[in-house]
Amino acid sequence: MAKITKIALTGAPCSGKTSIVERLAADFYTENRDVLICPESAYEVIASGVGRDDYIVFETLVAKKQLENEAEILKKAEQSKKDEVVVIYDRGVTDCFSYVDDKIALAENIGMNVVDSWARYDALIVLEIAPESEYFSTSARIETYKEALEYQKRLLDVSVGHSHLRYVKNESTFDEKYSACRAEIESILSGYEIEKKFLIEYPDLASLEKYNPFKAEISQTYLLCAVGSHRIRKRGSNGTFTYFETLKIRVTGSCAEETESIISKQQYDELMKSADPDKNTIVKDRYCFLYDGQYFELDVFRFWDDRAFLELELKSENQSFKLPPEIKVIEDASDDFHYKNSYLAGLKL
């Protein structure tokens, strides 16, 4: 079976999403790689004559149509004769939650909540809305620019927390914005994780509330492994969890080749039987937030009350970034194995 990578691409109205999706499909198609596009389901629902007077009803229909489209596209992907398939979703189920205030009602209607929806996509890319001078309406795009900006905020509110979120800001030209988006996907498909990790003073979490962080509960267990680091992770919030299996082989201090897959709870429980007896399960709270267009993950551990970690993924070694001013850095720990989770798991803390 082909290796399938599922990438949801989304953004506020007039973010360039549809044009970018079409270019990505053409650019990433190769002799050994197929690229499939899952179409935006909202247009299909609107074309069927359904109005948007009741957003719970409308978004329920959109989400159900999206699930049908995703099942169909994954079936095609699984039948591919190529070595690799990239599925690009022109919006995902997660989007539907951004349009409704009663997210619990929508979750009940479609049988999944926001956290559940994240697990459907290996990566989630959010595009920034175009400047107001470039904004225009269509028969389907009925929002004013002010309303579109509000939607962008709501979209980020339901997207921040995904374990592989990327945010693509506007550039001087649309071609530059496309290139930035393409670079993010190249990074995702490369299998290499370029991570910066900072040891920081224990943060004033209240001061970070302005960034509207999403809090995730994580339990990370290391398995017996002869090569690299083999781990399983339970990650979620408010009783809803997703389970991951990850094999990481370090290339340099800050760069690792990583293979990660979502597994079932049954698989997770079975793999727990292979836990390394010399390592403790790492339990931490992760606060995910955006600052200056960069996605940050702040890890607070149960065994430290004076320090924490701040991490971010980069698409290249020389990518520039800014740290939030509220963060007090002790040192750059990217290349220090003493601060790898696998090493900390072996200590009596």
CATH for the stretch 193-344 = 2.40.320.10
Q: Where are the domains of the chain?
A: 3-190, 193-344
Which of 192-206, 244-258, 335-349 has maximum average pLDDT? 192-206
Tens-place pLDDT, residues 120-170? 999 999 999 988 888 876 656 667 888 889 999 999 999 999 999 999 999
The predicted structure's pLDDT at residue 259: 86
Q: What is the secondary structure of 207-265 as a DSSP string?
A: GGGGG-PEEEEEEEEEBP-SSSEEEEEEEEETTEEEEEEEEEEESSSSEEEEEEEEE-H
At the second CATH level, the architecture of 3-190 is: 3-Layer(aba) Sandwich (3.40)
The predicted structure's pLDDT at residue 140: 60
Residue closest to 73 by CA, chosen among 48, 92, 100: 92
Quote the mean pLDDT of the chain. 92
pTM for the model stands at 0.89
The predicted structure's pLDDT at residue 208: 96
**Residue 52 pLDDT > 70, yes or no?**
yes
Name beta bridge partners: 168: 127
Question: Which bin fits 208, alpha (ψ -120 to 50), beta or left (φ > 0)?
Answer: alpha
